[in-house]
Amino acid sequence: MTFNSLQYALFLPLVLAAYWMLGRRAQNVLLLVASYVFYGAFDWRFLGLLMLSTLTDFVVGRVLEGTDDERRRKRIFLVSLAVNLGILGFFKYFDFFLTDGARLLDQLGIDVSPPVLRILLPVGISFYTFHGISYAFDVYRRKIEPTRSLLDFAVFVAFFPQLVAGPIGRAHLQLPQFGRERTRPDGPEIRRAAVLILLGLFKKVAIADMLAPYVNDAFASPETTSSLGLLVGVWAFAFQIYGDFSGYSDIARGSSSLLGISLPENFNQPYLSRSVTEFWRRWHISLSNWLRDYLYIPLGGNRGSGLLTYRNLLLTMLIGGLWHGAALTFVVWGGLHGLYLAGERRFTRVVDEDAWRPWSLRRDLVRTVVTFQLVCLAWVFFRADSISGALGYLGGIARLQGGVTDRGAVVLVALAAAAVLLLDSAQHRARDHTPMLRWNPALRGVAYGLMIVPIVVFSGGTPVPFIYFNF
């Protein structure tokens, strides 16, 4: 069941109607059942994995509470790590390491023919295992008290608005919300949630799905597409993945807010960033924060020498790349971002202040455009099927080759870019994700109408799954 399906349009109101008639404990029971139904609609066979991960982390939390022996605590925490990373490793990376390892050995002259298991990737596995690890890690470091309620914890891990594609939840922010009475959202909150859902649908259906066929065409035949066509193709992908993923996050936040649960922001106008460092403060914020808190800082962060900091940045981004998918293309994507971040840290001094400084057309336009192009260069590796495919694509742009230019794609990418830019600028200026709620009623109505019409037009075609469901 995806957020842009008719099933979800029926599922959410039904859950909401029942939810607000119940008390706190019954609400959690309903949320857990609804979340398992939601997840089971993708593939019920993987529900067992979700339950295993949940149970392990809950028990680990409880046992950690009962001991002060640091060596024992570490061993107990490693159980959570082993189970979660074991699930993730087997289902996501087993075939990758086996086939790519065999290929490497083959190049060294050692012939091995490992069995490829063609393991199915359970949807959302990267998200809920990270939920669990963060909880166990925070309990282990005594940053939070472990919860005594298995029900609250199971709902925290499986909460359906964020289960399959985030935002990645943090126990200290979310768990307490499931442990206390929730306040029924009032009129303004309901309107804000409805506008977030409408915005999310618009970004997903009218921007991402509209651009998807043009992106597919460009990446399917880079050798026959002109340089301009290839350039437009990668820009289209930049807006497609942004519309797709931030649209999902908006619907998740809107749905969650109707249930009286607040989810963290996951996107904050990333393409207005003036540096890659700023981009990572605005793009997939919940993952950036997770990687910072559970990887970069434990690795030493920027506390050591310059070289160590660069190493930590690169390692964090390489692992972040691998988190997205079991392929070398994602590793290169992460590696490129690691290099960008290290380079910016080495050569510029102002990147840290950027996030808090107001955006200025005169001062920031060039830096924003350059940052966007650097991000797009990395997107080529993210989207391509192989490293050679990505290099071929970039080669096609660099050679200024002739070929097919889909003029329709150029117009539609320009329209999508304009829509994204308008929305993001309005959000940025208002420092609010639903700025239209402050507009005068007629203008607000025009904005809603202009979002609903393309949603009608672009819905109901060949279903385009949310890109991040693959991760």
Partner 1 sequence: MTATDTGAEAGVTPGVGPRRPDTRRRHRGRVVPIAVALAVLLLAELAVRAGRSHLDEPNVWPTPELQKKFTQIGARAREGRRPEVVLVGDSMLDAGGDPAALAQAVPGTTVYNASIAGETLPVIADWTTRIVLPKLDPKVVVVGFSSNELNPSVLAPEAGVGAYRASRVVRAAEGRGSPVDRADAFLREHSMLYRYRSSLRHPFRGDTVDPNVFDPELSPDGHDLAFADLGYLEKGGPGQAQAVIQGVVAALQGFTVGLENVTILQEMIRAIRVAGARVLLVAMPVTTDLIVAHPGGEADYRKAMEAFAGVAQRSGAAFVQPGVWPTALFADPVHLNGAGAAQLSSYLAPLVQQELAAARLAEP
Of the residues 131, 172, 284, 324, which is catalytic?
A: 324
Stretch that binds partner 1, among 112-120, 326-334, 383-391, 403-411 (CB under 8 A): 403-411
Q: Is the Cβ of residue 79 or residue 415 nearer to partner 1 in the bound state?
A: 415
1 vs 452 by CB, closer to partner 1? 452
Question: Dihedral of CA 123/126/127/128: which sign?
Answer: positive
422 binds partner 1 (CB under 8 A): no
Given 6, 173, 366, 414, the residue binding partner 1 (CB under 8 A): 6
Axis-axis angle for helices 441-458, 187-201 (nearest 10): 40
Which two three-digit tokens encode residue 123? 């949807």
Query: Between residue 208 and residue 237, which ones bind partner 1 under the rule CB under 8 A?
Result: 210, 213
Which listed range, 66-74, 265-273, 357-365, 448-456, lies at the site for partner 1 (CB under 8 A)?
Answer: 448-456
CA–CA distance, 147 with 403 (Å, rounded to integer) = 61
454: left (phi over 0), alpha (psi -120 to 50) or beta: alpha
In sequence order, the β-bridge partners of residue 225 are 404
Applying CB under 8 A, which of residues 457, 463, 465, 470 lies at the interface with partner 1?
A: 457
Burial annotation 95-117 (CB, 10 A radius, 16+ → b, else e):
bbebeeebeeeeeeeeeeeeeee
Q: What is the DSSP string of 403-459?
A: -B--HHHHHHHHHHHHHHHHHHHHHHHHTSS-GGGGS-HHHHHHHHHHHHHHHHHHT
Scored b (16 or more CB within 10 A) or e, 349-376 reads: eebeebeeeebeeeebeebbeebbebbb
Residue 450 interacts with partner 1 (CB under 8 A): yes or no: yes
Scanning 263-271, 351-359, 394-402, 444-452 for contacts with partner 1 by CB under 8 A, the matching segment is 444-452
Range in contact with partner 1 (rule: CB under 8 A) among 23-31, 58-66, 322-330, 438-446:
438-446
Quick check: 406 binds partner 1 (CB under 8 A)? yes
Please select the residue that binds partner 1; options are 353, 446, 463, 470, rule is CB under 8 A: 446
For the question of residue 324 being annotated catalytic, the response is: yes
For partner 1 (CB under 8 A), the number of binding residues is 26
Which residues between 80 and 139 bind partner 1 (CB under 8 A)? none
Phi, psi of 464 (to 5 degrees): -110, 110
Round to the nearest angstrom and report the end-to-end CA distance of the chain.
Answer: 17
Residue 412 contacts partner 1 per CB under 8 A: yes
User: Which positions lie near partner 1, rule CB under 8 A?
Assistant: 6, 210, 213, 406-409, 411-412, 441-442, 444-446, 448-450, 452-453, 456-462
Q: Could you list the active site residues?
A: 324
